[in-house]
Every structure is written in structure tokens, then in C-alpha cells.
């Protein structure tokens, strides 16, 4: 290959005249000299017949395909059950038992009562789905015990088969291999690392989005609450960065049930999904039967109020419980505040306008978004008159709970933000009343 810098003379010690002055890649004399040196007498874009014939592998390819199809036919005759599974997996179809499997996983998650880290909730879902989905092939970039990605019964890949890969400290390599498995077909690859290390795999993640590959990116330790590892390991901008990618669904569930919904949605999605999970235990949220079905829509009303809401609060992941405590306390005191849990803004944005309006009515201008990460992705939802309780600086080293309190992620802080919005509305109402009286 000829380097463009050498050709136009940027780095060459000679012949920098005409080609460099006119910005041409090669002059006519240089082209003629190159043809003579290579012994190439053919016109531009003229491929010699002898070379064309040498490159033509159609007959060889047709014979290889014929032999492969004969082998596949014999395989169908000898092992009909395995052949049927092969055909299903290559086609990308889920097993006939999938609806029941998904329902059982959701029901098991709904029964979870004790507080639980969503990385553990994720493993509980995998423990149910993994043994029944042979197309699942998992792994982790050196963090299996932390990511909780090896489900019960999963075996490391070796001479005797297996369905789990220990990738080592290779976030990019892991994601690139997952892309290759998805392109081959017959697999639903998933792999885990810390959310902050998604940076190392960024170009492979982008390629998964560009090619609409069904890979599941399991990202744990999703906020400053991971604690003592400090700012090098605490993701700040990463959720916003992933959401900025087209064609990827990012899920940040708040409890076991939302985690199960995220996993079932990721397996059904015809493109990449990222599931951001906590290190720390989270309380389980209470939902009515009707609300459970709405989780799959990406955003839904978790706590509503009597009458039209004065303020809308939007939260994700570990901050949902904080917001719920603040909203419930204010509503008990006679205020009207609605809490929306939005585990996936991409999925919510894809819903019909009427549903989105029912969750976030445009008439309510007082809005607060709460997420322990960059505030950037939330301004479209709260508008210029709203607020975002986020973190726009790097974290610090310390115990997770202490850091969350230090950076303002407490129920008391959420309440203060809501009250500030409501007081602003009251001030506007008083000013309008005074203006009306003056008239």
C-alpha cells in the first residue's frame, strides 16, 4: 500500500514539486513509472482474464456448500432433535418454551422480598434462564465473581464443550468476540465487566450497535456507590455515553423485578442491550399487577398521587428507592407528586405518544430527574424549568453509603429538590395573583 503522505510529498525528500503543489496523489509520469516497474500494461480498472479466473472461487464455493448441505441433511436424519435446535438457533428464533420461561423468571423476581444488589438479581434470572436457553453463552472480563455472570450449571469452555468464557482483563477482546459469535448466529452472547470499563470496549460496543447484533452487555458497579476503589472505578459519564449511541437499549433497573424485565427484553431485542447493575443492595419496590406489565415499556408511573401531579420525579436504578421515600413523605403531607421509574429511556422513547403523555404529561412543568451519574441525558425530560440531581464531577474514595450521602443522593436531598420546585411554583402563583389583583 502506498502511503498518501509519501505520494504527495509530505514526508518524501524528493519529487515534491508538481504533485505537492497541485495536491495531486500521483502525476501521470509517476503513474507510468509505477506501471513500468510493476510490469502492469493494463488500463485502469481492467482486470486481466487470467487473474479474474484465478480469483473466481464460485465453483469451489458451490461444491463446499453442496457437501455441507448433504452433511446437514444426514445430521437431520441421524439427530432430528439436535438438528431442529440447530435450525431454530441459526434462525434466531427463541424456543417454544420461552414465554413460560420468561413468565417464571419474572414471577420469581416478583417474589423477592429482601433487599438485594441488582447484580445478584441478575444472576438469579440467569440461574433460571441459562439452563433452558442453550444459545446463551456467557463470560466476564476477569470479574466473574463480581459481575455474577456465571449461572448455576454453566461450565467454562474447554475440550468437553461448555458455555462460559473467562476472557481475562480484555474488555475490548470480550466484546469483539461476542460480536463475532452474534454474527455467526445460533448464540446469544453476554459478557460482564464494571460499567466504568465499558470505555475499554467502546469501539466494539459501537460496532455491535452499528450492526444490530444481539449481544447483552452486563455492566455492574454502576455508580459512586461501589465505594473504596475511588474515582478511577466510579462511573460518572458512562450511562450518558452509552445512551448517546444509536440502536442500543440501556437498562438501569431499580430492583429484582426490573432486572428480570431487563434480561427478558435484552434476550428478545434484535440488537445490543446494556444492563447496568448495582454492587449495593436495593429495596424491592411494590407494584400492582397493572404496573408490572408497564415496566417493559421502559418508563412507568411507580407512585402516583391523588389528583393531577404538581411535580414529576423521574429516577433510575439505585435512586428510585430514595425518590420513593421522598415522594411518599410529601404525598402523606398533602402534596401531589408522581414518581416515574425509567429503567430504559430508549425503550420509553419508542412508545406511542399517548402513553408517554400519560406518564409525563406536558402540562406539568415542575420536574426532577434523579440519577447518580452525569445529568446530561436527563434535560430533555425535565426541560429548562426542571432540575436534575446528578453528579457532574469525579467521585471520591470512601464507603459507598457515605459517598452517596456526601454527593447528595439521599431521600432528604431528593425531598429538598422537590420542595424547591414546588416553592418556585407557589412563588409564580403568588406573583400571578398579585398581578391579577392589580389589574
Do 104 and 239 share a structural domain? yes
Residue 272 CB contacts under 8 Å (≥ 6 apart), including other chains: 205, 208, 209, 212, 213, 214, 215, 216, 217, 247, 248, 249
Give, as one character, the DSSP assignment of residue 390.
-
Return the bridge partners of 274, or none. Answer: 217, 250
Final residue in a domain of this structure, among 34, 54, 89: 89
Regarding whether 103 and 78 lie in a shared domain, the answer is no
- Say if residues 200 and 257 touch (Cβ distance below 8 Å): no
Whether 56 is in a domain gets the answer no
| Residues forming a β-bridge with 158 | 161
How far is Cα 195 from Cα 197, in angstroms, rounded to an integer? 5
Residue 404 DSSP label:
H
* Residue 51 lies inside a defined structural domain of this protein: no
Residue 14 confidence (pLDDT): 42
On whether residue 277 sits in a domain, the answer given is: yes
Domain housing 26: 4-45
Q: How far apart are CA 384 and CA 365, in angstroms?
A: 9
Distances, alpha carbon 241 to alpha carbons 181, 214, 244, 250, 315, in Å: 25, 19, 5, 10, 18
Report CA dihedral (116, 120, 124, 130) to the nearest 10 degrees: 160
Q: Are residues 429 and 307 in the same domain?
A: yes
Same domain, 387 and 306: yes
Taking the whole predicted model, whether its pTM rises above 0.85 is answered as yes
Q: Residue 129 has which C-alpha cell?
A: 434462564
Rounded-to-5 percentages of helix, strand, coil across the chain? 50, 15, 35
Q: Are 166 and 174 in contact (CB under 8 A)?
A: no
**Residue 106 confidence (pLDDT):** 97
Burial class (CB in 10 A: 0-12, 13-18, 19+), 304: middle
Determine the pLDDT at residue 25: 67
Check whether residue 313 and residue 200 sit in a common domain. no
Residues with catalytic function: 171
Query: Is 287 domain-assigned?
Result: no
Q: What integer pLDDT is reported at residue 26 of this predicted model?
A: 73
Which of 251, 282, 313 represents a domain boundary (last residue)? 282
Looking at the fold, whether 303 and 391 belong to one and the same domain comes out as: yes
Cell triple for 170: 480484555
Q: How many domains does the chain have?
A: 4
Distances (CA, A) of 358 to 134, 187, 351, 355, 386: 40, 38, 11, 5, 18
Cell of 284: 424491592
Distance set, CA 135 to CA 104, 112, 217, 218, 402 (Å):
19, 27, 16, 17, 42
Chunked mean pLDDT (size 10), the chain, 439 residues: 40 43 68 92 90 94 98 98 96 96 97 98 97 96 97 93 96 98 97 98 98 98 95 97 98 98 97 98 95 97 96 98 98 97 98 98 97 97 96 96 97 97 71 54
- The CATH number of residue 381's host domain is 3.40.50.920
Can you tell me which residue has the cell 448495582? 278
Residues 103 and 247 in one domain: yes
One domain, residues 83 and 101? no
Q: What is the CATH number of the domain that holds 266?
A: 3.40.50.970
What pLDDT does 439 receive?
59
Do residues 376 and 271 both lie within one domain? no
Are the C-beta atoms of residues 205 and 198 closer than 8 Å to each other? Answer: yes
Identify whether 254 is part of a domain: yes
Whether residue 424 is contained in a domain is answered as yes
291 CB burial (10 A radius; 0-12, 13-18, 19+): middle
Is 55 among the domain residues?
no
Written as nine digits, the cell of 13 is 525528500
Domain identity same for 249 and 122: yes
- Domain for residue 181, yes or no? yes
d(CA 243, CA 249) in angstroms, rounded, equals 8
Does 82 share its domain with 221? no
Grid coordinates given for 383: 426541560
Give the model's pLDDT for residue 27.
87
In this structure, the answer to whether residues 211 and 244 fall within a common structural domain is yes
Q: How far is CA 279 from CA 118, 163, 194, 222, in A?
A: 7, 25, 10, 7
Give dist(CA 415, CA 311) in Å, integer.
Answer: 12
Here the cell at position 327 is 415522594
Amino acid at each position: 500500500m502506498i502511503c498518501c503522505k509519501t505520494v504527495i510529498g509530505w514526508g518524501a525528500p524528493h519529487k515534491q514539486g508538481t504533485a505537492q503543489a497541485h495536491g495531486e496523489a500521483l502525476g501521470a509520469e509517476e503513474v507510468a513509472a509505477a506501471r513500468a516497474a510493476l510490469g502492469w500494461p493494463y488500463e485502469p480498472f481492467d482486470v486481466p482474464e487470467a487473474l479474474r479466473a484465478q480469483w473466481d472461487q464460485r465453483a469451489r464455493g458451490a461444491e463446499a456448500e453442496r457437501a455441507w448441505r448433504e452433511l446437514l441433511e444426514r445430521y437431520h436424519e441421524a439427530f432430528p432433535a439436535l438438528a431442529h435446535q440447530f435450525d431454530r438457533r441459526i434462525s434466531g428464533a427463541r424456543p417454544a418454551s420461552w414465554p413460560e420461561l420468561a413468565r417464571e423468571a419474572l414471577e420469581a423476581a416478583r417474589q423477592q422480598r429482601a433487599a438485594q444488589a441488582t447484580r445478584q438479581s441478575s444472576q438469579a434470572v440467569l440461574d433460571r434462564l441459562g439452563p433452558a436457553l442453550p444459545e446463551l453463552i456467557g463470560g466476564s472480563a476477569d470479574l466473574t465473581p463480581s459481575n455474577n455472570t456465571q449461572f448455576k450449571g454453566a461450565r467454562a469452555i474447554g475440550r468437553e464443550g461448555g458455555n462460559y468464557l473467562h476472557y481475562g482483563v480484555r474488555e475490548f477482546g470480550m466484546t469483539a468476540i461476542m460480536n463475532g459469535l452474534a454474527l455467526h448466529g445460533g448464540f446469544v452472547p453476554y459478557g460482564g465487566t464494571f460499567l466504568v470499563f465499558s470505555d475499554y470496549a467502546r469501539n466494539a460496543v459501537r460496532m455491535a450497535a452499528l450492526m444490530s447484533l444481539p449481544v447483552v452487555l452486563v455492566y455492574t458497579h454502576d455508580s459512586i456507590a461501589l465505594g473504596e476503589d475511588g474515582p478511577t472505578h466510579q462511573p460518572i459519564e458512562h450511562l450518558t455515553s452509552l445512551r448517546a449511541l444509536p440502536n442500543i437499549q440501556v437498562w438501569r433497573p431499580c430492583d429484582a423485578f426490573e432486572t428480570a424485565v431487563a434480561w427478558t427484553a435484552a434476550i428478545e431485542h434484535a440488537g445490543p442491550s446494556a444492563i447496568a447493575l448495582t454492587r449495593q443492595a436495593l429495596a424491592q419496590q411494590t407494584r400492582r399487577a397493572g404496573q408490572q406489565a408497564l415496566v417493559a415499556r421502559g418508563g412507568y408511573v411507580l407512585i402516583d398521587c391523588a389528583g393531577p401531579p404538581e411535580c414529576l420525579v423521574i429516577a433510575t436504578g439505585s435512586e428510585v428507592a430514595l425518590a420513593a421515600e421522598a415522594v411518599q413523605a410529601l404525598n402523606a403531607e398533602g402534596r401531589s407528586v408522581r414518581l416515574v421509574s425509567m429503567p430504559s429511556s430508549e425503550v420509553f422513547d419508542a412508545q406511542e405518544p399517548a402513553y408517554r403523555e400519560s406518564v409525563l404529561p406536558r402540562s406539568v412543568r415542575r420536574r426532577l430527574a434523579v440519577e447518580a451519574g452525569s445529568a446530561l441525558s436527563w434535560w430533555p425530560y425535565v426541560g429548562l424549568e426542571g432540575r436534575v440531581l446528578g453528579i457532574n464531577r469525579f467521585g471520591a474514595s470512601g464507603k459507598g453509603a457515605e459517598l452517596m450521602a456526601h454527593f447528595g443522593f439521599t431521600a432528604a436531598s431528593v425531598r429538598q429538590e422537590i420542595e424547591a420546585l414546588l416553592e418556585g411554583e407557589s412563588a409564580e402563583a403568588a406573583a400571578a395573583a398579585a398581578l391579577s389583583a392589580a389589574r
